[in-house]
Amino acid sequence: MGIFSRLADIVNSNINAILDRAEDPEKIIRLIIQEMEDTLVEVRSSAVRSIAERKEVERRVETMRREHDEWQRRAELALARGRDELAKGALTTKARIAEALAREERQLAQLALALDKQNEDIAQLQAKLADAKGREKAIVARRNTASSRIRLRTHLYDERVTDALARFEQVERALDEMEGRVEAFELGRKNADASAFATLEQDGRVEEELAALKARLQARSNPD
């Protein structure tokens, strides 16, 4: 569906008001430009036809003027030769040509006015089209600027997140190292404690064997 219905709508249009109401200004401005360009093609084509028609009428007018002058000359010649009836006929023909010539000249004047109006319309339409294209560039530039700012902010945000994750990983590695040291310390202490307990258990068994050996020797030395 077009935005404009006729050339006057384009010439009298308020592009700012149209864009302010638009949900998608970039799409609307492209549509406006397309309609203006199509209308400009139509107006120029109409102007070409008007110019061709004007040239054709101009040729007919020129031919009729020559014929008008020629029948005037013939009427004068007939009168000079005393041929009144012949002169009257020449003047009648000249009168018919004069009427036709007047119609063609009126048509030529109307075509001239129409061409002037078409030239004015083309100039106004070109100005509107240039204005619309300028606004399109501004809209596209604003969109590109906004997109660049979004990409920049996203990039900066991603970098901050990456830095934060990297720092968090460093902290985790440091904690892992500290926990490893504690576990290593506990591991060494557990081994030492186990060794001490093993030594105590062995000493206990030696003491028990020593006591048993003493008891046997005493029994041998005191048979009864």
Comparing 75 with 222, the larger pLDDT belongs to 75
Q: 3-class DSSP state for residue 109?
A: helix
Residue ranges of domains in the chain: 7-151
Token pair, residue 162, equals 């990456």
pTM above 0.95, yes or no: no
C-alpha span between 144 and 131 (Å, rounded) = 20
Question: Looking at this protein, which amino acid is placed at residue 88?
Answer: K
CB-based contacts of 133, cutoff 8 Å, min separation 6? 33
Q: Are 19 and 135 in contact (CB under 8 A)?
A: yes
Q: What is the DSSP letter of 78?
A: H
7-151 is a CATH 1.10.287 domain: yes
Q: What is the pLDDT of residues 67-125, one digit of tens each?
A: 999 999 999 999 999 999 999 999 999 999 999 999 999 999 999 999 998 898 889 88
Rounded to an integer, the average pLDDT of 185-214 is 63
**Res 140: pLDDT:** 75
Summarize the confidence of residues 205-223 as an average pLDDT: 69
Q: Which amino acid is at 64?
A: M
Under 8 Å between Cβ of 4 and 10: yes
List pLDDT tens digits, range 17-55: 776 676 667 777 888 888 888 888 888 998 999 999 999
Cβ(121)–Cβ(7) under 8 Å?
yes
How many C-alpha atoms does 146 have within 13 Å on its Cβ side?
6
Average pLDDT, the chain: 77
Would you state the structure tokens that stand for residue 7, as one six-digit string? Answer: 């050339």
